Amino acid sequence: MSLDSTGMVMDTLPWRLFKKMKTQYPTKMIVITPGDLKSVGVLEAFDNPMQYVKALFMKQHNLEIVRYRHNYKTLEGTTPELGLVFMAGDSELVPAMEVWALVGHNARYAEKKDEPAG
């Protein structure tokens, strides 16, 4: 654990695990901006932000998210179950959030549907 700029305790375990696990699994990332969330249709099309994130991974990378949240009970064990990793942007010019998936751990490629012959 470490302190952030306001003196609050930050849980860095998921980030430290992600740094280690990204050397073992392929990674894919999407970027979400405040404008994305405010755009017409997004809030109407999805019940919650989790569905929007899952849909973006499917659209951009053909990835199905199999674990969205961390299983904190396992993170300090030998087989941690890490969910998606959200990294806040640090730019005021382009405010955005990166969302990272580990292919084979918390995400998998979706099966391609056969196109009808014709």
Highest average pLDDT, of 5-9, 47-51, 75-79, 105-109, comes from: 105-109
Report CA-CA distances (Å) from 35 to 21, 42, 94, 116, 118. 31, 10, 10, 37, 40
Report whether pLDDT(1) > 70. Answer: no
Q: What's the CA gap between 1 and 7, in Å, rounded?
A: 12
> Residues 7, 22, 33, CA angle at the centre, nearest 5°?
60
Give the start-to-end residue ranges of the domains of the chain: 27-108
Percentage of the chain beyond pLDDT 70 is: 82
pLDDT in tens, 31-89: 988 778 777 677 677 878 889 899 999 999 999 999 999 999 999 999 999 999 998 87
What pLDDT sits at residue 3?
Answer: 45
Report whether pLDDT(18) > 90. Answer: yes
